[in-house]
A and B are shown apart, each in its own frame.
Chain A
Amino acid sequence: MLEIGTLHYLMVAAILFLIGLIGVITRRNVVIIFMCIELMLSAVNLNLLAFSRLYGLHGQVFALFIAADAAAEAAVGLGILIAFFRNRTTVNMDEVDLLKG
């Protein structure tokens, strides 16, 4: 019977983080990019919780703060996205091209 240890949690977190990272780089829809960033933050939380099994409460407190921060970021992000959508009627990253050197 396979014992689930800290390392397994870290592997899952690393995979989640990579999926998020690749998603941010390759996807063109702003909403999906947001979701990928949230995925990366979830990976961070998983890491912290896995480590806090070894070290005590610190990691859990940090994870709570990161969860709150992710929520704040999503709220502001969607607000900015709605303002953007009202003026441009698109959420495609390829059409975000007014500012260029």
Chain B
Amino acid sequence: MTPVAMMLFAPFTAADYRLGAPLIVLTLFSLGILCLDLFLPARHKHYCSIPALLGLGVAAYGTWKIQQVLPASGALYAFFGTLVLDPMSVYFFYLFLAGAAVSVLISIRYLEVERESHGEFYALILFAVTGMMCMAAGADFVLIFIGLELMAITTYILAGFLRGNKRSNEAALKYLLLGAFSSAIFAYGLSLFYGLTGSTNLAEVGASLARRAATEPRNPIMLLALLTTMTGMLFKIAAAPFHMWAPDVYEGSPTSVTGFMSVSVKAAGWALILRVLLCGLYPLRVQYVPVLVFAAIMTLTTGNLAAITQTNTKRLLAYSSIAHVGYMLLGLIASDGVANRTGIRGILFYLLVYTFMNLGAFAVLTSLRRRNILGDDIDDIAGLVQRAPVEAILMLVFLLSLAGIPPFAGFYGKYFIFLSLIETGHYLLAGVAVLYSVVAAYYYLRVANAMFMRKPQGEGAPVTPPAMNLALWITAAATVLIGIFPNIFIQAANWAGTLIGPTGVAQIR
């Protein structure tokens, strides 16, 4: 009997639901928030953030329970082998939940300033996290694609959340057109892989592709499928030459949504790439590494060089996030998941660090938003140290960490990527990467220079209500603590990376 026919006759078991609990909890909470929003009077709508944070907390608890029952070296499968719970899924679950929680915290006041509805916003964030979890824990092309689309469609709406704002409209429209376009290309690749292998399960696709790649490594259909699939994935993480949507969308979206998109959505894209390229499509590694090398060098170049001339801080951070993707791509080039794992651990660790430092920088930018002041121009941050010394110093910490300067967390993120390149003998790529990180220091310090050396342009201090303060201190504490005590976090990333690779995907039942 085929797995699909099995699904028609065999019911799901309680174990399936236990393993899918974080996703189910998030879905129920977001539906609950939508209902609650209807009953709250307008001035109390911001209380919707409480069930949102509660839902994220309950999902984290569910993930923790799953982590407790996870076998020492192995994975658990649910829903007929479509959902895989392994250390990597659990690690990414925590990462998405943390990113979403901080995004909710920084959104509360921002939404009030913009006079936008609260309930739908938090519900959409929770739906997006559900989609991300499907991407990270999907062992089947169908689930991965549905997760990708659930995340993408909710983020289109979030990008255009300020309905009366022309820039937000435009960001959403651009994101939607390019996102849907890339999803269609990605789906075409998946359909060709289905045709080549006769399965949508990652393990079976991998086994079948290994046989085919051994006999005819230059099969044109196989190469076409690989190229279209990779195009779709590189679009999602905004790697060059498919990055052109990112600066526009990041600039036009609400600032708190930009923060969410630049960390959690990007991390989900990376979970997808690691899962697909290192598990399902691993037999085609010889064919896809040159593409990755090309994309990585293009990404580092465009990201770093374009950031130098930006006068809008959101746009600058958009280009900087493109550049960070370039570094992570280098880790994927160095590590194949068999002979070398440093790069994969480096990517996982980098994503953890990046989540906190980048969200922190966006939290500071969000706090600059006041009535009549957008807060995203570099002039708005000028002289911040005189208006708000604490925020200025926190922003400096985030910027130094983004630039990769010790003792902050960003340093270790870059360190493991460079280490993996040296270990595998990619000296030239390591040289290029180090060179570009010097360029990066220039544009981050330019923002710092504006904060500390220039005269303030605007009046008044940024408003930081308790939720915003909490978000600022969480991200700052994480950025500093991971930098000073990296061991425990490195161990977590090592643990998460143990099963990624061609041998990691076990057989489905």
Contacts and interface: CB of A to CB of B under 8 A. Distances in A.
Contacts of A56: 2, 4-5
Contact of A65 (B145, B167, B306): B145
Contact of A58 (B4, B166, B184, B192): B4
Nearest to B200: A58
Band of interface residues on B:
35 or more
B166 to A, nearest CB: 5
Contact of B173 (A17, A73, A80): A80
B287 interface: no
B2 to A, nearest CB: 5
Nearest to A72: B153
B142 A40 contact: no
Interface stretch (B62-70, B246-254, B356-364): B246-254
Interface string A34-56: 10010011011001101100111
B464 to A, nearest CB: 28
Given A24-B181, A41-B187, A55-B199, A65 B146 contact: yes
Interface in B284-330: 306, 309-310, 312, 315
A59 B194 contact: yes
A76 B167 CA distance: 18
B4 A47 contact: no
Interface stretch (B22-30, B156-164, B452-460): B156-164
Contacts of A55: 194, 198-199
B167 to A, nearest CB: 6
A19 interface: no
Given A55-B194, A62-B141, A62-B142, A40 B173 contact: no
Interface in B189-211: 190-192, 194-195, 198-200
B115 to A, nearest CB: 16
A58 B194 contact: yes
> Which residue, of B2, B4, B156, B251, has the highest number of chain A Cβ atoms within 10 A?
B4
B51 to A, nearest CB: 24
B195 A87 contact: no
B351 interface: no
Interface string B1-41: 01111000000000000000000000000000000000000
Given A55-B199, A62-B141, A72-B149, 6 more contacts: A20-B184, A47-B192, A55-B198, A83-B160, A84-B169, A100-B248
Q: Closest 7 interchain pairs by CB?
A: A40-B184, A47-B191, A57-B4, A51-B195, A99-B248, A55-B198, A84-B169
